[in-house]
Structure 1
Amino acid sequence: MAALVRPADWQKEQESIRTIREAVFVQEQKVPADLEWDNQEESSQHFLVFNGDVAVGTGRLSKSGKVGRMAIMPSARGKGLGAQLLKAICDFAKLQGFRSVYLHAQQHAEGFYIRSGFIPEGETFYEANIPHIKMIRQLH
């Protein structure tokens, strides 16, 4: 399924971004709300994934080159939207002059990121009581 993935304006579109992240991280994964929302929101470039005219996914790229807060609504999973979102974020980062990007992958999603060219680095660690692994992708 081809979806529209585009950069989002945090100031104008945070309601859509918050709705998706609230559903996936706070409700589904039980991440405490005070950990979900941080001081990177305003300075990061956010992205939205649309299925028709409905926002069903989001992610962000921080100034440091960290890809994060990637989430696809449960009803829209299994259609390749996460891969399209990740590609759009990496393409954007490359256009911005980043030579590489990194992320903290939830351990269960490590294979997804490996398929998109990310390489695990270091030991497993915990964020919000969820096991994560740092992963890096070169943007040649």
Structure 2
Amino acid sequence: MAILVRPADWHSERGSIRTIRETVFVQEQKVPADLEWDDQEESAQHFLVFLDEKVVGTGRLTKEGKVGRMAISRTVRGQGLGAQLLRAICDYAQQSGYHRIYLHAQQHAEGFYTKAGFCKKGPVFYEAGIPHIKMARELR
């Protein structure tokens, strides 16, 4: 099982990014498509996760230091791919000079992000009808 997580180019690889996010967020989680796509797409650094050369995940880091749009295909969840994706994003952020990054975690995933060094920063709020929690991590 060969796993690769790497930065992705929005312009040349947006088809792969969109396919994963459409499936996970729009179809599975019923996020309205007009909320899924925003004005951050072109300026954010995107990432792709490959399993045996097949794209199975994606995520992004905005210029403001927000990690988001992390999604792993349902058929390969539970294999640690999300943790590898998050680690790659954090490593990229640190190498790029970010001192602190943050995210809006779906509330059910708070434990996942806590294990990765993120701390809760405020009350539960809703995005696209889904409960979220703001979390942040200091980078060394």
Aligned to 2:63: 63
Q: TM-score scaled by structure 1?
A: 0.99
RMSD: 0.8
Q: Report whether the alignment pairs 1:131 with 2:137.
A: no
Aligned to 2:90: 90
Does the 8 A contact of 2:56 with 2:76 survive in 1? Answer: yes
SS of 1:84's equivalent in the other structure is: helix
The residue type equivalent to 1:57 in the other structure is G
Query: Gaps spanning 5+ residues in structure 1: where?
Result: none
2-side partners of 1:32 and 1:2: how far apart?
33
Identity of aligned residues (%): 71
Aligned length: 140
Could you list the runs of 4 or more consecutive aligned residues of structure 1 that deviate by over 4 angstroms after TM superposition?
A: none
1-side partners of 2:114 and 2:60: how far apart?
19
Query: Gaps spanning 5+ residues in structure 2: where?
Result: none
2-side partners of 1:101 and 1:57: how far apart?
20
Q: TM-score scaled by structure 2?
A: 0.99
CA shift digits 1:56-96 (9 cap, x unpaired)? 00000000000000000001100000000000000000000
1-side partners of 2:20 and 2:81: how far apart?
14
2-side partners of 1:3 and 1:127: how far apart?
31
